């Protein structure tokens, strides 16, 4: 009888473990990304006016990175780096709306799908067109379903952050349609245009699709990868009445910006509550960051902030590249930790692979490194330099940044020359040391040219099977 009782206890524990962890304990992965969220526009980075309680709790419960970089100072390239662990320059994605994700690139969704994961994408894709019959310039049809995602609810690019099918009253930019309708990107669900549940807050609309996907994965006892890329706070920036009311003392434009950020934060809180309710929160790893610094108009008007850093989106100053970042895995990684490790969006891919004990592919070069040792509390310095680029034929734009240790070289903006900064002593990049430290300057320039050569070899065919 004792043996029978013991076996029953073991079975009970196994069933409970399986229910909580699914697929023999494979952790779930959620990739959260904001769009154009400045380093200084979250509470956990010191903003006292913004209301982001759920992101702030994530920072308290996980690891907050103070030196975390987007792979590029604008959206599409950074998104490519998250999914592949590779510089967007290797992939031919130099800027927004230029090309798309190449089918030969191996994404984290494809890798995890082979491991038995259900994979879902929700929100702004921006790595190729998502409507199969629509032919446009500056890109090609390459939806999330081409890159390992089972279920997709995606827009090609930006939509208003409130009522995404309506042209906002306070907006005079792109996307003007007929009769007050939004004429830009639309939502497509598994290849079909969406017409229902598209009113109100866009972050809520996205989460309304992501949570059922997660719930189904839990019911099927399958681990999941949920990639949730919000539009907030990208233009057109619109907040609903209840979110505007939270900021009565702020200027109108800032009310909308902060309001839509708070609405996004609310949905992140909703997601976390759902994970706790289902008992999978301790077996779920959450990654949060922004795709680049704050948008040019908001930053220049003082509405959005990269403080204490200089610059904004489209620039290689720290304000264009350094972004808010938190990684949380309850009970598995150090909580309430602030890391100064130089990390970037290309690091997600190798980090997830090491967490899951999946061998890193050696067929193609990666630009990211695993952050798992850092998340476990090890005091390390980055051994692989961080390199970034942004290139467009428009106005002959070709900008670069290269960080090795405490030093950074960059061409920060169009018309500027290459500069050298000591980021440990000069975070505001006020003192160009190119003439004062010529040996350091020359060494980093050689390092950048070596990386650029490797990038070119990759995108021109070295990494691809023909």
* CATH number of the domain bearing residue 447: 3.30.1120.10
Assigned domain for 408 exists: yes
Longest Cα–Cα distance of the chain, Å, equals 83
Token reading at 378: 């090890």
The count of other CB atoms within 10 Å of the CB of residue 334 is: 15
Q: Examine the domain organization and report whether 253 and 109 are in the same domain.
A: yes
Q: C-alpha distances in angstroms, 205 versus 209, 294, 364, 425, 463?
A: 7, 23, 37, 44, 38
pLDDT score of 16: 35
* Interatomic CA distance for residues 12 and 270, integer angstroms: 30
State the residue range of the domain holding 45: 27-375
Whether residues 97 and 117 share a domain: the answer is yes
Q: Going edge to edge, which strands form the sheet with 325-328?
A: 192-193, 188-189, 151-155, 118-124, 224-229, 28-34, 284-290, 325-328, 63-65, 337-339
Question: How high does pLDDT run on average in the chain?
Answer: 93
User: What band does 25 get if pLDDT is binned at 50, 70 and 90?
Assistant: confident
Side-chain-side CA neighbours of 41 within 13 Å: the count stands at: 36
Cβ–Cβ < 8 Å for 408, 321: no
For residues 70 and 336, the answer to whether their CB atoms sit within 8 Å is no
Q: What pTM value is reported for the model? A: 0.94
303/364 same-domain check: yes
Predicted confidence at residue 98, as pLDDT, reads 76
> Is it the case that residue 385 has pLDDT exceeding 50?
yes
Tens of pLDDT, residues 262-275: 999 999 999 999 99
Task: Quote the CA–CA distance of 327 and 370 in Å, as a whole number.
Answer: 13
pLDDT at 340: 96
Residues 353 and 417 in one domain: no
Quick check: is 441 in a domain?
Answer: yes
Same domain for 262 and 399?
no
Phi and psi at residue 62, to the nearest 5°: -130, -145
Q: What is the pLDDT of residues 285-311, one digit of tens each?
A: 999 999 999 999 999 999 999 999 999
Using alpha carbons, select from 56, 105, 423 the residue that is nearest to residue 261.
Answer: 56
Helix-helix angle 202-219:252-277, to 10 degrees: 10
- Pseudo-torsion of CA 311, 314, 318, 322, nearest 10°? 120
Q: Which residues contact 261 (CB under 8 A, 6 or more apart)?
A: 34, 37, 41, 42, 50, 52, 232, 233
Q: In angstroms, rounded to a whole number, what is the distance separating the alpha carbons of residues 22 and 210?
A: 18
Mean pLDDT of 156-160: 97
Residue 337 tokens, joined: 């930790």
Residue 3 lies in a domain: no
Residues 338 and 453 in one domain: no
Are the C-beta atoms of residues 7 and 204 closer than 8 Å to each other?
no
Strand partners, 309: none
Q: Answer yes or no: do 349 and 450 share one domain.
A: no
Q: How far apart are CA 96 and CA 200, in angstroms?
A: 27
Q: Which one of 128-132, 223-227, 333-337 scores highest in mean pLDDT? A: 223-227
pLDDT at position 9? 36
As for how many domains the chain has, the answer is 2
Asked whether residue 8 is domain-assigned, the answer is no
Same domain membership, residue 271 and residue 205: yes
Residue 258 resides in a domain: yes
My answer on whether 423 and 367 are in the same domain is no
pLDDT at 444 exceeding the cut of 70: yes
Query: CATH number of the domain that 118 lies in?
Result: 3.40.720.10
- The strand ranges marked E within 272-385 are 284-290, 325-328, 337-339, 343-344
| pLDDT value at residue 466 | 66
Same domain, residue pair 236 and 357: yes
Tell me the pLDDT tens digit for each residue of 75-106: 999 999 999 999 999 999 999 977 789 999 99
Asked whether residue 21 is assigned to any structural domain, the reply reads: no
The answer to the question of residue 13 being in a domain is no
Q: Supply the pLDDT for residue 235.
A: 97
Residue 380 in this model has a pLDDT that exceeds 50:
yes
In 289-428, alpha helices (H): 296-300, 318-321, 348-355, 372-375
Residue 452 lies in a domain: yes
Could you read off the pLDDT of 203-215 as tens digits, one per residue? Answer: 999 999 999 999 9
At residue 460, the 3 state secondary structure works out as helix
């Amino acid at each position: 009888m004792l043996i029978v009782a013991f076996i029953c206890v073991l079975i009970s524990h196994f069933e409970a473990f399986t229910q909580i962890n699914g697929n023999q304990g494979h952790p779930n992965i959620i990739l959260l990304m904001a769009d154009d969220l400045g380093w200084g526009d979250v509470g956990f980075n010191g903003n006292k006016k913004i209301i982001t309680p759920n992101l702030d709790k994530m920072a308290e419960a996980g690891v907050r990175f103070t030196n975390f970089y987007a792979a590029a100072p604008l959206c599409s390239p950074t998104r490519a780096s998250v999914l592949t662990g590779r510089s967007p320059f290797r992939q031919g994605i130099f800027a927004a709306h230029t090309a798309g994700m190449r089918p030969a690139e191996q994404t984290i969704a494809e890798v995890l799908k082979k491991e038995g994961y259900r994979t879902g994408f929700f929100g702004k894709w921006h790595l190729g067109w998502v409507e199969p019959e629509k032919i446009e310039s500056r890109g090609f049809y390459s939806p999330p379903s081409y890159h390992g995602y089972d279920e997709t609810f995606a827009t090609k690019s930006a939509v208003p952050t409130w009522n995404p099918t309506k042209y906002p009253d306070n907006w005079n930019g792109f996307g003007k349609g007929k009769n007050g309708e939004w004429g830009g990107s639309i939502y497509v669900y598994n290849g079909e245009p969406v017409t229902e549940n598209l009113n109100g807050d866009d972050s809520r609309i996205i989460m309304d699709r992501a949570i059922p996907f997660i719930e189904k994965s839990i019911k099927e006892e399958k681990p999941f990868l949920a990639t949730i890329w919000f539009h907030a706070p990208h233009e057109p920036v619109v907040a609903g009445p209840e979110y505007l009311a939270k900021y009565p003392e702020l200027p109108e434009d800032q009310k909308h910006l902060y309001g839509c950020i708070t609405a996004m934060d609310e949905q992140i809180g909703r997601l976390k509550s759902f994970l706790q309710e289902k008992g999978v929160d301790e077996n779920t790893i959450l990654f949060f960051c922004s795709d680049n610094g704050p948008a040019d108009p908001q930053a220049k008007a003082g509405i959005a902030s990269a403080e204490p850093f200089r610059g904004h989106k489209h620039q290689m100053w720290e304000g264009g590249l350094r972004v808010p970042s938190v990684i949380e895995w309850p009970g598995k990684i150090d909580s309430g930790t602030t890391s100064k490790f130089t990390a970037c969006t290309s690091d997600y891919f190798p980090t997830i692979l090491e967490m899951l004990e999946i061998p890193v592919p050696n067929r193609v070069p990666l630009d990211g490194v695993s952050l798992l040792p850092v998340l476990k509390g090890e005091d390390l310095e980055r051994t692989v330099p961080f390199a970034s680029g942004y290139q467009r034929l428009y106005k002959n734009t070709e900008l670069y940044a290269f960080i090795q240790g405490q030093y950074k070289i960059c061409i920060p903006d169009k018309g500027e020359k290459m500069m050298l900064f000591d980021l440990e002593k000069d975070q505001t990049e006020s003192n160009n040391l190119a003439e004062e430290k010529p040996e350091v300057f020359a060494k980093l320039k050689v390092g950048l040219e070596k990386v650029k050569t490797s990038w070119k070899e990759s995108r021109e065919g070295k990494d691809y099977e023909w």
